[in-house]
Chain A
Amino acid sequence: MRRVAVVSRGVYTPVGRGFDATWAGLLAGRGAVQRISRFDPTGYPVQIAAQVDLEGDGPALYDALMDAVLAEAMAGIRLDRVAPQRVGVFLGNEAVRPPMAELVRRAAQRELPTVEELARYAPHWQTLRVAQAVGALGATATHATACASSGMGLGEAFLAVRRGEVDVALAGGVDVLVHPLMVMGFARLGALSTRNEDPGRASRPFDLDRDGFVLGEGAALVVLAAEEVAAQVGTVLGWISGYGCSSNAWRITDSPPDGRGAAEAMEAALRDAGRGPGEVVYVNAHGTSTRQNDMSEARGIRRALGAHADRALVSSTKSMTAHMVAAGGAIEALVALEALRQGIAPPTINLDRVDPDCALAHVPWVPAPIPQGVAISNAFGFGGSNASIVVEAP
């Protein structure tokens, strides 16, 4: 089977516009959680989120985010050296949330979205849009697995390149969660932090005083290429070497306390990569800052890595970016790869007192050097969809 290289990337997060800005912000420990400014959150129990610095709302904002990461990822990429039938697109997205004004008008006037609007709001819209933009005629897929979406998209893209189904694959996702309905829905679930008076401290994965996750938004696009064509298409930034996924089959809103679903995804990814637990030097955790997720994931890491869990560094960059949901998996896999490339793990900010149920080799507040080895990036979705990806430096 072929090796699969990461040859380019585009990222847009609340922490930074572009991958380099995001990475610099993460190393600096710069959190992006603030009072919501896209709409007036007065009266909401949750009034904080991490927003990107783009104007707009609804599908236009999704398009703008995807256009930005597409432009960054495709800069310098020579897709003309690959047949269009050998280029695939694998995104992970949820449905677009229409602008609130549109939802209000429809509700008040009992209007329906048109067929064209429905198509534009569908999860697979961006997949087809990207395929058209780059002229890809190969395999396409849209994975809609909530917070695991773009992680699964990236994983399936990796598999498609490795098995020879395509030579080049574009993978990633986009999500915009700072929307009144999303804030309302997740607040009603009791899943969000209500630390409205201290937003910078609200996202605190694995910390004893965490009280929920914080909504974010962002986009990522990764260009993968088979080793044989990687140098013709772009520059080898690193490798994806393994992918694993699993279902919790537990409960709709909770994760199993013993961490088995998370562990199965990580174990499958390591098996797929032909790597052992002792080779893992860094885990970019899903780390949402909810008690249920963090405890389940921490136990999953222990199950998967065994005694090596005391040595592999673990951080959650959601402490800074907040939860970018469908877009998060791909972004965090790129962060894990860069950590290996640079030999330094970005920190988990706001991690003052580690929850005893989450004891791991955490990286609180300050980046930490990491030795040579492989890294795992986790993305776990509501409903129990789990994806883990193993990355390696060039």
Chain B
Amino acid sequence: MRRVAVTGVGMATALGRDPWEVLALLLQGRSGVVRPTDERALLPIPGVAEAEVDVRPLLKRRKDKKLLPRAAELAIVAAADALGDDRPEDIGILLGVGREPTDGGASERAILSSLDGDGVFSPALFGAVGLPLYPPLASLRTLPNLILAHVAIQLDLTGEGGTRAGAEAAGLAAVVEGWHAVAEGRAEVVLAGGADSFVDPALARDRVRQGFSGQAPGEAAGFVRLEPLDRARARGAEVLAVLDGGGTRFAPEERWRSEWEGQLGACGAAAGVVDWILDLAGVSSSGRAWSAEDTGALAYVTWSRARV
């Protein structure tokens, strides 16, 4: 088993992209949660926490932007920051994602166009009228692994690839998988992390109606770059930490909430990784980062600097 180093971090949050700056702002009490000025202002929420990112400089074709779900925009920016300039062949990417992206209301429009004069759904109308209203790529937008696919395409990541579906534990679970892949020699360099977004007005409204009114809808992506410690040393890379352990388990009794949710909003599958990256930006010499979901999934990693 090889020792695995963290040699890069990247994040996109409502308080910025530089983990050290974001941590300083958080410790100063700054919040990325702001009152929206659009229709979301009417919602009973503390505010929304939106990340300001411009993904266009990283895209192969500027027109690709229209294909990207919001979480993919965040993920591309954060993954590129974590990756840095050392780009060997077959870099892997393991990503934790949350709720499936929506099809942007395409299916709803198709359904509503297929009601007969009495307001009853007509399968025949659905086939004849609803179908042409459904954009060809709409169904693909809803696939969770499309976020990873977009990152892989834009950054040319052809190695180990996999998407973990879940909620708050999914991002760290992807990190655990990345750690195993590098430690066991199945991959040399892996980007691992999570991405999620709830700030779209329709999603924010839905969350309130579904009972999440106490939370500020947020969004974030967080990635770490993992590689063998020996490789990192050989290329003179800065080693931020060494992974000492990690795992996942079914723990329905556990409850977890992001330490920074009040200032960064609810960030779903990215939350656990973002919290950990902020730990790495701090002064602790070691730690255990973990996150869990109400569904019972739990993921954790243990790390240290002392053994570097």
Contact = CB atoms under 8 A, between A and B. Distances in A.
Interface of A: 39-45, 85, 89, 93-95, 100-101, 103-104, 106-108, 112-115, 118-119, 122-125, 127-128, 131-132, 136-146, 148, 152, 156, 159, 163, 165, 180-182, 184-190, 244-253, 260-261, 264, 268, 272, 381-386
A181 B109 CA distance: 12
A246 B249 contact: no
Contact of B248 (A114, A140, A248): A140
B149 A247 contact: yes
A196 B211 CA distance: 45
Interface in B251-280: 251-252
B156 interface: yes
Given A107-B112, A144-B145, A249-B157, 15 more contacts: A104-B115, A107-B107, A122-B167, A138-B249, A140-B296, A143-B162, A145-B148, A163-B184, A182-B139, A246-B161, A247-B92, A249-B155, A383-B143, A383-B148, A385-B148
B180 A163 contact: yes
Contacts of B8: none
A188 B135 contact: yes
A156 B173 CA distance: 12
A113 B67 CA distance: 26
Contacts of A123: 100, 144, 165-166
Contact of A122 (B124, B142, B164, B165): B165
B139 A140 contact: no
Interface in B105-155: 107-108, 110-112, 115, 119, 121, 123-128, 130-131, 134-140, 142-146, 148-150, 152-153, 155
B115 A39 contact: no
B121 A104 contact: yes
A247 B161 contact: yes
Contacts of B160: 245-247, 268
A248 B158 contact: yes
B196 to A, nearest CB: 13
B115 A108 contact: yes
Contacts of A106: 108
Contacts of B108: 106-107
A185 B143 CA distance: 12
Contacts of A185: 134, 138-140
Nearest to B114: A104
Contacts of B46: none
Nearest to A244: B186
A184 B162 contact: no
B297 interface: yes
A93 to B, nearest CB: 7
Given A247-B149, A384-B149, A94 B131 contact: no
Nearest to A47: B127
A394 B232 CA distance: 41
A165 B296 CA distance: 18
Given A43-B125, A43-B128, A144-B144, A128 B296 contact: yes
Contact of B140 (A140, A189, A260): A189
B65 to A, nearest CB: 13
10 closest A-B pairs (Cβ-Cβ)? A185-B139, A43-B127, A383-B149, A247-B161, A144-B165, A123-B165, A144-B144, A247-B152, A44-B127, A249-B152
Contact of A181 (B139, B164, B248): B139
Nearest to B251: A137
Of the four ranges (under 10, 10 to 19, 20 to 34, 35 or more), the interface on chain B belongs to 35 or more
Contacts of B119: 108
Contacts of B110: 184
Contact of B111 (A107, A124, A136): A107
Contacts of B177: 141, 156
Given A128-B296, A249-B153, A180 B126 contact: yes
Contacts of A132: 250, 252, 296
Contacts of B291: none
Contact of B158 (A43, A103, A190, A249): A249
B204 to A, nearest CB: 12
Given A124-B295, A381-B145, A246 B159 contact: yes
Nearest to A103: B111
A201 B128 CA distance: 25
Contact of A128 (B156, B162, B180, B295): B295
Contact of A165 (B92, B247, B297): B247
A326 to B, nearest CB: 10
28 contacts: A39-B123, A40-B123, A42-B123, A43-B124, A43-B128, A89-B250, A103-B107, A104-B115, A122-B100, A122-B165, A124-B167, A128-B296, A132-B252, A137-B249, A140-B249, A140-B250, A144-B145, A145-B162, A148-B145, A156-B177, A182-B139, A186-B139, A188-B134, A247-B157, A251-B153, A382-B140, A384-B161, A385-B149
A188 B139 contact: yes
In this complex, the member of A44, A108, A142, A260 whose beta carbon has the largest number of chain B beta carbons within 10 angstroms is: A142
Contact of B206 (A112, A186, A272): A112
A138 B295 CA distance: 14
A264 B90 contact: yes
A385 B162 contact: yes
A189 B137 CA distance: 7
A356 B246 CA distance: 48
Contacts of A139: 247-249
In this complex, the member of B112, B115, B158 whose beta carbon has the largest number of chain A beta carbons within 10 angstroms is: B158
A114 to B, nearest CB: 7
Contact of A261 (B156, B158, B296): B158
A173 B59 CA distance: 34
Contacts of B197: none
In this complex, the member of A106, A136, A146 whose beta carbon has the largest number of chain B beta carbons within 10 angstroms is: A146
A186 B140 CA distance: 9
B136 A190 contact: yes
Contacts of B186: 244, 268, 272
In this complex, the member of A112, A145, A187 whose beta carbon has the largest number of chain B beta carbons within 10 angstroms is: A145
B93 interface: yes
